[in-house]
Structure 1
Amino acid sequence: MEIMSSSRGENMVLVKKFSFEAAHNLVKYHGKCERLHGHTYRLTVKVEGPLNEEDMVMDFAELKKMVEDRVIKKLDHSYLNELFEQPTTERVAIWIWEQLSGPLRECGVRLVEIELWETETSGVVYRGEKV
């Protein structure tokens, strides 16, 4: 029994979570985070688009590969200060957005939001907006 017929045109948001380990120290900050320390970062990527011919926004495996190749492989077990002048969670989130937004657009979806958490209680949300 088919519960719902296939209907394209619905816009949906696809969500995929990742994690990576990295160390940093905040050179423009005065407090305990100016010393070298590490985090288990948690990244959530949200993309939006219409259902395709397979009734998916995007294949989870395709999104996973893109994020792993363009972001995780570069950041995991890295010293973030070698990649960023001031490796705050905010700056890393902007960089992740820049790595993903164009390639995702080429796949026919739009990067809506990323969340980047450096601890269980501290993180940022970035939507690609410029102030």
Structure 2
Amino acid sequence: MGTIRITKQFTFETGHALYGYDGKCKNVHGHSYKLSVTVIGKPIADTSDVKLGMVIDFGDLKKIVEEEVVDPFDHATVFNKNTPHVDLAKELTDRGHKVILADYQPTSENMVIDFATKIKARLPKEIQLHSIKLRETETAYAEWHAADN
């Protein structure tokens, strides 16, 4: 059998602020993110396997991405932990808000790198992460491709 790519799409709502940025995004704001995760592998050929013909069960891929990305980031506010936003993050957390303090500036570019690392670590050894597309708005997105990394 040939090598096949499959893609699963996800949506989540996340707020963030870009500390030190010289435009509007320095302010806390949010996005309705659309995430596409593409993996590559060979369909299962073992006729005794209940997942015969699948590269990976879409449900299994969904579980990985939801646990690593969607559930933690949905309706959370993300700040770079190395900025003064940590004071705001503490206040929000103390008031019961969901906050993520990231090791990076929370741009779409850095988020796809983070997501790729998390997803790759959870995939079965015979499945590789091919690409991730994170759409921040209808006209703006960042992509990560294994071939580039």
* TM-score tier after normalising by the smaller chain length: 0.7 to 0.9
Match of 2:140 among 102, 111, 122: 122
Aligned to 2:43: 51
1:89–1:123 CA contact under 8 A, matched in 2: yes
Aligned to 2:96: none
1:93 paired with 2:91, answer no
TM superposition outliers: structure 1 runs of 4+ over 3 Å:
none
Q: CA RMSD for the aligned pairs? A: 1.2
Aligned to 2:60: 62
Normalised TM-score (structure 1): 0.87
Match of 1:24 among 16, 19, 37: 16
Aligned to 1:102: 121
Structure 2 matches for 1:35-50, cutoff 5 A? 35-50=27-42
Residue type at the aligned position of 2:76: S
1:16–1:60 CA contact under 8 A, matched in 2: yes
Residue type at the aligned position of 1:118: E
Q: Determine helix, strand or coil for the equivalent of 1:27.
A: coil
Alpha-carbon separation, structure 1, partners of 2:140 and 2:56: 29
Identity score, percent: 36
Deviations 1:18-73 (A, max 9, x none): 01100011113101111110000000000000010301111001100111011111
Match of 1:79 among 63, 77, 80: 77
Residue type at the aligned position of 1:33: C
Normalised TM-score (structure 2): 0.77
Residue type at the aligned position of 1:27: Y
Mind listing any 5+ residue stretches in structure 2 that lack a counterpart?
47-51, 80-99
1:14–1:47 CA contact under 8 A, matched in 2: yes
Alpha-carbon separation, structure 2, partners of 1:35 and 1:48: 38
Q: Determine helix, strand or coil for the equivalent of 1:83.
A: strand
Alpha-carbon separation, structure 2, partners of 1:87 and 1:105: 28
Mind listing any 5+ residue stretches in structure 1 that lack a counterpart?
1-8
